[in-house]
Every structure is written in structure tokens, then in C-alpha cells.
Amino acid sequence: MYRESCSDHILRVIELPAEVVAGKVAATLRDGVLQLTMPKAAPAKKVVPMASNVA
């Protein structure tokens, strides 16, 4: 999804393909180039219950 509006401020919204760690998002602006660093969140670990047959 891409949206942009025109006014005194510029707003651009981009949907990300994966979850990110919000506390580790960083942005730098250098020579007119905005660089965003957004580390992916670790996938949720699956827990598979195991039955034990103890006689």
C-alpha cells in the first residue's frame, strides 16, 4: 500500500511484509536520503506437546 498527501508536511505510509521490533527502529537523514533500519521480529516458537508413555 502506498499513500502520499500534499501539504506543508509529507506523509508516506508503507505496509511492511513482516513484523519488526519497534524498540529497535532507527532512522538517519544524510544528504537528503532517509535511511530506516527495522530489524525483523523473531518468529513465534511453536510448542508441540509430546505424550509420554511411562509404564
54 located within any domain: no
Asked whether the beta carbons of 10 and 4 are under 8 A apart, the reply is yes
44 located within any domain: no
Q: If you search the block for the grid coordinates 518468529, which residue do you land on? A: 43
Q: What does DSSP assign to residue 1?
A: -
Instruction: Enter the C-alpha cell of residue 31.
Output: 544528504
pLDDT band per the 50, 70, 90 thresholds, residue 11: confident
pLDDT confidence of residue 1:
63
Q: Give the three-class secondary structure for 2.
A: strand
- Provide DSSP, 3-48: EEE-SSS-EEEE--SS-B-GGG-EEEEETTEEEEE-PBPPPPPP--
**Greater confidence, 50 or 5?**
50
**pLDDT above 70 for 48:** yes
55 located within any domain: no
Work out how many domains the chain is built from and give that number.
Answer: 1
48 located within any domain: no
18 located within any domain: yes
